[in-house]
Each structure stands twice: as structure tokens, then as C-alpha cells.
Amino acid sequence: MKKLFMFLAVAGLLTFTANIAFAQGKDAAPANEEQVDGDAGAKDAEAADADASKDEAKGQESKDSEEGVALHEALKTKFIEGGPLFMSLIIICLILGMAIAVERILFLAFSKSNTAKLLNAVEAALEKGGVEEAKKVCRNTRGPVASIFYQGLLRADQGVDVVEKTIVSYGSVQMSLLENGLSWIGLFISIAPSLGFLGTVIGMIQAFDAIQTAGDISPNVVAGGMKVALITTVGGLIVAMILQIFYNYIIAKIDSLSIDMEDSSIRFVDMMVKHNK
């Protein structure tokens, strides 16, 4: 699943880059104006009013469309003004970070299970058919809790102490699987604003170079470098904030699953002690 999300991330990046390149070479199409001649008479006046209403509606739709396109074009313009190199790196951080975050969210969603129902089913299976029947229940249940129970049942004949140690060890393995990929999201959260600040420094250097070349500290000379500095900083901070929200949500889900795993493991060990007696 992670490979699928990484492929989608790369495809999205290529599409976005192609769209930017197309926007740079795109020319504005000339607008066509229409004139409507009115005729005398009641019927002609009614027809003219109807046509005017249609033209007004079309004009409003065209205006709304132009506003939407204007916002889209404004984002592209700011992307280009911020510097294609640094802005592209920031966008790559966003796309890859979001791909890993979505993959983690789906993985955690599929890992969630009804542990109370599972414990009751395992207890009933132990009373009915013994350990082998309980293994079947765990094999047919998804989630880390069922996997932990299954590993404990595999060593049920070696005593409760061995079962407990197995549960603790395999619980650590399951926690590592749940936390897989979080380090990459944290890396992108750190890199995105760092790239923005790097663009800021380079923009300031460009501004001072322009001042030195012109020999004058005028707003027009400084504006170009300052614009690059501000745009890259804003882009990096926005990407970091978006990824931070997803990171904290994933951490919260992992903590919830961890508590559930620990509580279920304690109840499972008590169940095995009761079964052995």
C-alpha cells in the first residue's frame, strides 16, 4: 500500500509541474464582444429582454469563472515568483509527507478492532475447543491485538510465564509496525520550513546584490529579493503546519491502539491463567 501512495505522490508532482510549465507558456485569449440590436414593438422588446437576461447570466458565469481562474493563476504566479527550485522542493515535501500520512491513517484504521468482542470469542473458544480453536479465532481476526494473542497461544503449552514474555516482545514488534513511517513525516515537517528560510536568506542576498549594483536603496531595487524571501518562508511554514496536524492525529491514533493492546494483553494473560487451572 505504501508503494501505491508513493506512486500517486510522484504522479501528482509530475502533473503539478506540467501544469506550472503550461501556465508559464500560456497566452491570454482575446475576449469577444457581442452587441444586441433592439427592435421596436412589444414582441421584439420581450425578445430583447429575454436575450439581455441570458447575456447577463452568461456574463455573471463568465465573471465567476474568471475569478476562479484568477485565484488559480495567482497561486501559480506566486509559486514561480518564490523560485521554482525552492518552491518545488517544498511541494515535494508536502506531497510525500501527505502520501505517507494517508497511508498511515488507513493502516491504523484497518488495525483497529473490537478487542472486547475478540476477548469474549477467544475465551469461548478456549472453553469449547481449547487452544487450537482459539488460534482459529485469532487467525480470522485482523489487527495487532489478534496477532499478539496468536503468538501467545502458540506457546500456551510452555507455561503462562512464557506466554506473558511472548506477548510483551511481540507487542513491541507491533508498536514498531504502527509507528513505521512517522520518522519520514517528522523529517518533512523539519525540512519544509528550513527550505523556506533558506529561500529567505537567498532572497535577502539577492536584494543586497541589487542594492550594491544599483548603488541606491530604493523600494523597487529591494522588492524582488524580499518577495522571494517572504513567499518561500510562507510556503515552508504552511507545509509544515499541514503535516504537523496529520502527524499529531496519527500519534493520537497510535496511543489509543497502544492502550488497547496493553489492556487486552493483561486480560488475555489472566484468561490463560484461568484456562490452565
Element (H, E) at 274: helix 219-276
Cell output for 77: 504566479
Q: Which residue has the cell 541589487?
A: 210
Q: Is the pLDDT of residue 54 over 70?
A: no
Q: Which residues contact 99 (CB under 8 A, 6 or more apart)?
A: 5, 6, 8, 9
Enter the pTM of the model. 0.69
Residue type at position 69: V
Residues 253-263 pLDDT 10s? 999 999 988 88
Helix/strand/coil for 259: helix
Is residue 58 within 8 Å of 33, Cβ to Cβ? no
- Non-local (6+) Cβ contacts of 149 within 8 A are 118, 122, 134, 138, 264, 268
pLDDT band at 276 (very low <50, low <70, confident <90, very high): confident
CB 265 within 8 A of CB 148: yes
* Contacts of residue 162, Cβ cutoff 8 Å, sequence gap at least 6: 155
pLDDT for res 40: 41
pLDDT-derived band at 240, boundaries 50, 70, 90: very high
Sequence-ordered list of residues with C-beta below 8 angstroms from that of 59, at least 6 positions apart, any chain? none
Average pLDDT over residues 66-84: 60
Query: What would the grid cell of residue 193 be?
Result: 520550513
Domain boundaries, the chain: 1-6+85-277
Look at residue 277 and give its three-state secondary structure: coil
Confidence of residue 102 (pLDDT cuts 50, 70, 90): very high
Question: Mean pLDDT for the chain?
Answer: 75
**In degrees, to the nearest 5, what angle opens at C-alpha 105 toward C-alphas 116 and 234?**
145
